[in-house]
Amino acid sequence: MKIKGEIIVIEDDQDDRDFLMDIFESLNYPNKIVFFEDPTKVLDYLSDEKVKPFIIISDINMPKLSGFELRNMVLKDKIISEKCLPYIFLSTSQDPENIKQAYGLSVQGYFKKQEIFSEYKEMINKIIQYWQVSLTPVLQM
């Protein structure tokens, strides 16, 4: 398991990034938190064999490349897909079509962004705790 790996957060909105950073700081996980404002830079980063993330948390509605497009690219990239990274969507949308499309891309979760700090923190904590105990294949890279 890669439970000490990086938590990758792909979020174009500065306020949302700041809110998530405050949440992660308050949770005090040992994981390094790596934020990407530009989703087009994520694939190169994840392709690096030295990079062994713990989880990817991604927004959906972003300029240049949507979360759906990025997820599809991750699935099609052999090097990245073999890392068996949990991929979670965080969105303001509760549109059933978005949720259906997300699960059609084999995401491991779709969660609504919360406005209240304590509720958002609890949700993020539950997501991370789940993946800390979930078994995934460990590849020798």
Q: Say which CATH number the domain at 33 has.
A: 3.40.50.2300
- pLDDT on residue 135: 83
Count of Cβ atoms closer than 10 Å to residue 123 Cβ: 16
**pLDDT value of position 136:** 76
Task: Evaluate whether residue 30 is within a structural domain.
Answer: yes
pLDDT for 140: 40
Position 130 in a domain: no
Count of the separate structural domains present in the chain: 1
Is residue 1 in some structural domain?
Answer: no
Mean pLDDT by 10 residues, the chain (141 residues): 87 98 96 97 95 96 96 96 94 96 97 98 97 75 37
Q: Which domain holds residue 30?
A: 7-123
- The pTM score is 0.94
Helix axes 96-104, 67-76, angle to 10 degrees: 10
